[in-house]
Structure 1
Amino acid sequence: MRYFSVEEANRLVPLLTRTFERVRPWVERAQQLADTLVSGEGIPGVQLDTLREERDVLLERIRGELHQLTEMGLEIKGADGLVDFRAHRGDDPVFLCWRFGEPAVTHWHELQDGFAGRRPIDSPDDFAPTWLS
């Protein structure tokens, strides 16, 4: 399992921004298709098949883009641009947290807290550097 320092996480923000700029429209379209397929009212079967195929292609494309990030040790919490980085705050494992649109990794949270438990990073030095730092 890979752990990140604040500096290492911040070095990845430009890559994350580019990736989610590309992926977010696909996520939005896939959600629209899923909503349409759930209701399905008045849509002929052949058209439903076409919509399912488009949704499946988009989902595979999204998975492919995000897989590259998970291979780097990042944890994707939302395909619309929510990412956690495992880190150590003192002896405690925590997550550094980034959301699409943020210019840097400026928050962290306990492993069990999730996004709602985000707290500002007061000092990057509170988080242990890694051998990659």
Structure 2
Amino acid sequence: MARIFTVDEARSLMPAVLEHARAFVAVRADLAELTHDLRHAGASPLGGLPEAKGLEARMDEILSWFDAEDIEVKGVAPLLVDFPAVLGEVSVRLCWLEGETALGWYHRSDLGFPGRRALP
């Protein structure tokens, strides 16, 4: 069974979430630049195919941390993660989006991102 987080438990993980998110965003940017350069110029200061494969592996490694913590990755550009939770006997996801500095949002599990609301 998937882990169910309290708001406090999810917030206690936010320093690590932010650290892994910063690393992911940096690697994602490098991979985007490297891929673009290779497609359009045939070369890149960031390397070639071996370096691209290494960046892809690093992205997978970072994302596996979220999985190991039972945090759901819902998107990677921008990075969007959900913490399964229950608020007032309703199944929800505590929701963090790349660029936010704290965990301050949730949505009902059956509504997804469009149902996003500020945490009470």
Coarse TM-score class (shorter-chain normalised):
0.7 to 0.9
1:42 Cα deviation (Å)? 5.6
1:19 Cα deviation (Å)? 1.2
1:62 equivalenced with 2:62 (yes/no): no
1:21 Cα deviation (Å)? 1.6
1:32 equivalenced with 2:33 (yes/no): yes
1:84 Cα deviation (Å)? 0.4
- Report the counterpart of residue 109 of structure 2 in structure 1: 111
Change (3 A) 1:42 1:24: closer
1:53 Cα deviation (Å)? 2.3
- Identity percentage over the alignment? 30
- Report the counterpart of residue 7 of structure 1 in structure 2: 8
3-state SS of the aligned residue for 1:94? strand
Change (3 A) 1:112 1:27: farther
Separation in 2, partners of 1:32, 1:112: 36
Q: Which runs of 5+ in 1 are unaligned?
A: 123-133
Q: Which runs of 5+ in 2 are unaligned?
A: none
Residues 46-92 of structure 1, C-alpha deviations (whole Å, 9 max, x = no match): x59x6332221101111112212211100112335321000112332
Change (3 A) 1:42 1:114: same
Counting matched residue pairs gives 116
Change (3 A) 1:14 1:115: same
State the TM-score, normalized to the length of structure 1: 0.73
With 23-32 and 75-84 compared, the bigger mean Cα shift is at 75-84
Residue 17 of structure 1 contacts residue 101 of structure 1 at CA under 8 Å; is this kept in 2?
Answer: no
Larger radius of gyration: 1
With 55-64 and 98-107 compared, the bigger mean Cα shift is at 98-107
State the TM-score, normalized to the length of structure 2: 0.80
Larger RCO, structures 1/2 (Cα 8 Å, 6+ apart): 1
